[in-house]
Amino acid sequence: MRLVFASRPPDATACARWSGAPTTSSSDGPSGATVDHYEAPVQLGPGETPFAAFVRVRDRLLAYDVFPPVVVRATICPDGRITVGATIVQHVAVGPLALEAAVRVIEVWDRAGPDGGSAAGFRYVTLRGHPECGVASFEVRATPAGEVRVLLGARSRPGTWQTRLGRPFARLLQRTLTRAALRRLTTAPQR
């Protein structure tokens, strides 16, 4: 975790800084982790079909357009869409400064289910130096009945002495960011 100016998004230097960082836990999450699960239906836009809503949310997920950009700015390293092995460098704004941390993508899926449903998403693990130690998943699912839902999950514990010391504030920030992501992903686009 580093402090940087919030006005600057992560760049190639940040990507290089985090490229060799080791992960902080297994793909199942650390022992003693707090488990979070969030789920909500996706609102359809005017004239939008459930499949179009699924594609809209899937494309946002796989481009890591998840969090409100005024709060979290991120860069996928290497540039492009989410892929297994990609590093995502995040800047979380706290006033004029931002906390820089990174995660590594360990799983990506984009598939149609045998019953006509579809699912797309990814899972990442935090890198050493991230305020949290753990894994998180981001997924959109569509059922054959036309329901589209976003599911966000995390298994984490404090990753630094600062987040252990400030655990109540760190948990509040973590839950606030996740709820903001859920709202951003499930709210219908305005025309």
Give me the mean pLDDT over the 33-62 stretch.
Answer: 94
Q: Flag whether pLDDT at 2 surpasses 80.
A: no
Nearest to 109 by CA among 61, 160, 44: 61
Class level of CATH domain 2-186:
alpha beta
What tokens appear for 141 in the block?
Answer: 């699912």
- For tokens 């991230």, name the residue: 130
Strand partners, 100: 2, 91
Q: What is the pLDDT of residues 96-121, one digit of tens each?
A: 888 899 999 999 999 977 677 899 99
Domain boundaries, the chain: 2-186
Q: What is the pLDDT of residues 119-150, one digit of tens each?
A: 999 999 999 999 899 999 999 999 989 899 99
Q: Flag whether pLDDT at 165 surpasses 90.
A: no
How many angstroms separate the CA atoms of 10 and 90, rounded? 7
Q: Residue 153 — pLDDT band, cuts 50, 70, 90?
A: very high
* H/E run at residue 164: helix 161-165
Strand partners, 35: 155
Q: Residue 1 — pLDDT band, cuts 50, 70, 90?
A: low
